[in-house]
Amino acid sequence: MNSNTLDFEKPINELEKKIEEMKEYEDNLDIREEIEKLEEKVITLKKNVFKNLTRWQRVQLARHPERPYTLDYIYLMTEDFIELHGDRTYRDDKAIIGGFAKIDEYKVMIIGQQKGRDTKSNVLRNFGMANPEGYRKALRLMKLAEKFNKPVITLIDTPGAYPGLEAEQNGQAEAIARNLLEMSRLKVPIIVVIIGEGASGGALGIGVGDRILMLENTWYSVISPESCSSILWRSWDYKEQAAEALKLTAEDLLELKIIDRIIPEPLGGAHKDHKLMAVTLKEVLKEELENLVKVKPEKMLQNRIEKFGKMGAYTE
Amino acid sequence: MGFFTRSKQNISPDSQKREVPDGQWVKCKECEEIIHVKQLELHSWVCHKCGYHFRIGSEEYIQLLFDKGTFKESNKKMRSVDPLGFVDTKKYSDRISASIKKTGLNDAVRTGIGKIDGNKVSFACMDFKFIGGSMGSVVGEKIARAIDKAYDQKIPMIIISQSGGARMMEAALSLMQMVKTSSRLARLADAKIPYISVLTDPTTGGTTASYAMLGDVNIAEPTALIGFAGPRVIKETIGRDLPEGFQRSEFLEEHGFIDLIVERKDMKEKLSHLIGYMT
């Protein structure tokens, strides 16, 4: 069995493997009927398992090492992507990538955190944890998009902004704060999609927009369940409870009116079918773009400020 | 890698109990001088011997900065409603009640309008003693409204930060307060109304990564801990000790993120002068 398989995926993957094996003998033996039965069974099993996922299991799916990452979506959904590098001040941060791309008739600026798939690429990408120069590159590209009146799409997938010595020295907090301020007054439409992990300020640093969308099996919160456990329970062992308490799934955030829409994933999760996931996301983005480009810029900015202004709960 | 990534006992061990305790005499945490409370108050809660700045709250800052009797507080009654029904080792709702009882405050920020040397300003001051000065819905909303007042009345905005970051018990709602406040500051900036941010010990996490770093002028008190990630998390990440003075006001000034460091006794005068230049 694949070492990337999550516990609750095991029975599904075992069954799928068995079907694959049987298909090899299909020409010689008359087992078509049996295969069909098993295929139905695996669909029912998937539906049952995925209907009752806990919040922690969603977190695990959001981190699945076979999930599509930003570059996968760019290759599967866009054409003529031209990656643009650097913050024009310090260096190019490989944990955040961005550039011009076409989504059918729409020319956009697409920006996202990029994780790696193996040790080497994870070192290059710093596990998708950006330094201040990454946020500053993102802002430079957004300003570029504004200058030439192109909508911005950001794809969020990060375990957090990098908590390193140089990151602090170079103003991690200032870089994120600046992005929040500038994104809230950027005069072109911004669509934000959480495609994996949305951890805290590191996610929010490219997360201000007119429409905030989440894929079905992703999480978005102020802290990871593990760190939350270590601070509030003083132990790393309460991550499941922390995930429950944080209410960090797409469904939770839709209910809290923090996000606008949940994008369904292929049955079994986005990692089971990259192509289908990318097609689904592409269609959603086109629909959202079609609506947003019709809104007048002044109205759009007013709506954006009001949207975030409404978030929160208090009594007086 | 969240905002609140330090466990409580590690909120820099030397500065944990800087609040002035009850009783008539206190010991300076830095030089161990025994100081009478009245004397300390006369010296703006700064040690007369070594210059150590004791951690103080909104009440003391209001007293220090505003012309006598001019400060009027707003939205005093606003409280958190525990929107997620958050429970860890304690219920969040119990934590709030206990903090209200202990501190006499309703949440970790107080806002209002007052006069500094005759200049009318909109003001917000955080209180670290209320759940680590953490920013949840109440803090975000009150600060946003204070900024709106500055915008509507065309008067300068001053925020004094003192915070561990976004409040975990309101999870994503706390996170969104960073956008709520920053977007209002964007509007204020577009209207060319000055905003001065004052960072005190400690200012970390989501507070630093939103309004605290967005001043037209960023001021820090001496030796305040200011950063995004907490020192312990950084130490664990890089696997070595942090250099002396790392993430302190002087370090931030040296690296270009703080305009100036101002001692508490000079704060009112400096704010007053800056307002004069920016209005």
Q: pLDDT, tens digit, for every residue of B192-204? A: 999 999 999 999 9
Residue pair A14/A1 in contact (Cβ under 8 Å)? The answer is yes
A63 sits in the region (left: phi over 0; alpha: psi -120 to 50; else beta) called alpha
Q: How far is B94 from chain A (nearest CA, A)?
A: 14
Q: How far is A10 from chain B (nearest CA, A)?
A: 30
Lookup: tokens for B266 = 């000079």
Please identify every stretch of chain A with a pLDDT value under 70, giving residue numbers as ranges. Answer: 1
| Residue B151 counted as domain residue | yes
Residues of chain A contacting B185 with CB distance shorter than 8 Å: 181
Q: Inter-chain contact B187–A185, Cβ cutoff 8 Å?
A: yes
Label each residue of A112-178 as H, E or C: EECCCCCHHHHHHHHHHCCCHHHHHHHHHHHHHHHHCCCCEEEEEEECCCCCCHHHHHCCHHHHHHH
Q: Inter-chain contact B175–A245, Cβ cutoff 8 Å?
A: no
Burial profile A20-29: b = 16 or more Cβ within 10 angstroms, e = fewer: eebeeeeeee
Residue pair A83/A97 in contact (Cβ under 8 Å)? The answer is yes
**SS3 category, B159:** strand
Q: What is the mean pLDDT of residues B73-88?
A: 97
pLDDT tier for residue B7 given thresholds of 50, 70 and 90: low
pLDDT tier for residue B221 given thresholds of 50, 70 and 90: very high
Whether pTM > 0.80 for this model: the answer is yes
**B35 φ/ψ angles, rounded to the nearest 5 degrees:** -125, 140
The answer on pLDDT for B22 being more than 80 is no
**SS3 category, A84:** coil
Lookup: tokens for A237 = 């062992």
Q: What is the mean pLDDT of residues B222-237?
A: 94
Residues of chain A contacting B144 with CB distance shorter than 8 Å: 309
Q: Which residues contact A21 (CB under 8 A, 6 or more apart)?
A: none
Report the alpha-carbon distance of residue A225 to residue B86 in Å, rounded: 13
Report the alpha-carbon distance of residue B172 to residue B195 in Å, rounded: 26
Report the alpha-carbon distance of residue B108 to residue A287 in Å, rounded: 42
| Residue B224 counted as domain residue | yes
Lookup: tokens for A129 = 């944890």
Q: Which of A129, A202, A313 sits opposite B137 (nearest CB)?
A: A313
pLDDT tier for residue B19 given thresholds of 50, 70 and 90: low
**A35 φ/ψ angles, rounded to the nearest 5 degrees:** -60, -45
Residue owning tokens 């150590």: B52
B-contacting residues of A 77-136, CB under 8 Å?
A: 129
Q: Inter-chain contact B172–A258, Cβ cutoff 8 Å?
A: yes
| Residue B37 counted as domain residue | no
Cβ-in-10-Å burial (0-12, 13-18, 19+) of B7 comes to middle
β-bridge partners, A147: none
pLDDT by residue (tens digit) across B124-164?
999 999 999 999 999 999 999 999 999 999 999 999 999 99
pLDDT of residue A27: 74
pLDDT by residue (tens digit) across B165-218?
999 999 999 999 999 999 999 999 999 999 999 999 999 999 999 999 999 999
How many domains does chain B fold into?
1
> Comparing C-alpha atoms, which of B236, B264, B84, B241 is closest to residue B174?
B84
> Comparing C-alpha atoms, which of B234, B210, B231 is closest to residue A308?
B210
Residue percentage of chain B with pLDDT more than 70:
92
Q: How many Cβ pairs closer than 8 A exist between chain A and B? A: 231
Q: Does A53 touch chain B (CB under 8 A)?
A: no
**B113 φ/ψ angles, rounded to the nearest 5 degrees:** -125, 140
Q: How far is B252 from chain A (nearest CA, A)?
A: 7
Amino acid at A61: L
Lookup: tokens for B79 = 């409280």
The answer on pLDDT for B9 being more than 60 is no
pLDDT of residue B20: 52
Residues of chain B contacting A204 with CB distance shorter than 8 Å: 175, 178-179
B110 sits in the region (left: phi over 0; alpha: psi -120 to 50; else beta) called beta
Q: Does A221 touch chain B (CB under 8 A)?
A: yes
Report the alpha-carbon distance of residue A298 to residue B186 in Å, rounded: 14
Burial profile A255-278: b = 16 or more Cβ within 10 angstroms, e = fewer: ebebbbebbebbebbbbbbbeebb
Q: Which residues contact A181 (CB under 8 A, 6 or more apart)?
A: B182, B183, B185, B186, B189, B214
pLDDT of residue A185: 98
| Residue B39 counted as domain residue | no
The answer on pLDDT for B240 being more than 60 is yes
Q: Inter-chain contact A177–B208, Cβ cutoff 8 Å?
A: yes
Q: Inter-chain contact B7–A305, Cβ cutoff 8 Å?
A: no
Give the DSSP per-residue string, A6-23.
-GGGHHHHHHHHHHHHHH
Lookup: tokens for B130 = 């209320």
The answer on pLDDT for B12 being more than 80 is no
Q: What is the ipTM of this complex?
A: 0.96
Say what the alpha-carbon torsion angle B209, B212, B218, B224 is, to the nearest 10 degrees: -90
- Smallest CA–CA distance from B238 into chain A, residue: A164
Residues of chain B contacting A227 with CB distance shorter than 8 Å: 1-2, 4-5
Report the alpha-carbon distance of residue A250 to residue A256 in Å, rounded: 10
- Smallest CA–CA distance from A159 into chain B, residue: B1
β-bridge partners, A103: A106
pLDDT of residue B277: 97
CATH of the domain at B80: 3.90.226.10
Name the strand (E) or helix (H) holding B109: strand B109-116
Lookup: tokens for B69 = 């009797």
Q: How far is A268 from chain B (nearest CA, A)?
A: 26
Report the alpha-carbon distance of residue B215 to residue B259 in Å, rounded: 9
- Smallest CA–CA distance from B230 into chain A, residue: A163
| Residue B16 counted as domain residue | no
| Residue B121 counted as domain residue | yes
Q: Does A225 touch chain B (CB under 8 A)?
A: no
pLDDT tier for residue B13 given thresholds of 50, 70 and 90: very low
For chain B, the C-alpha Rg in angstroms (whole number) is 18
- Smallest CA–CA distance from B7 into chain A, residue: A231
Residue pair A249/A55 in contact (Cβ under 8 Å)? The answer is yes
Report the alpha-carbon distance of residue B134 to residue B167 in Å, rounded: 5
Query: Which residue range is the domain that position B203 belongs to?
Result: 57-278
Residue pair B201/B15 in contact (Cβ under 8 Å)? The answer is yes
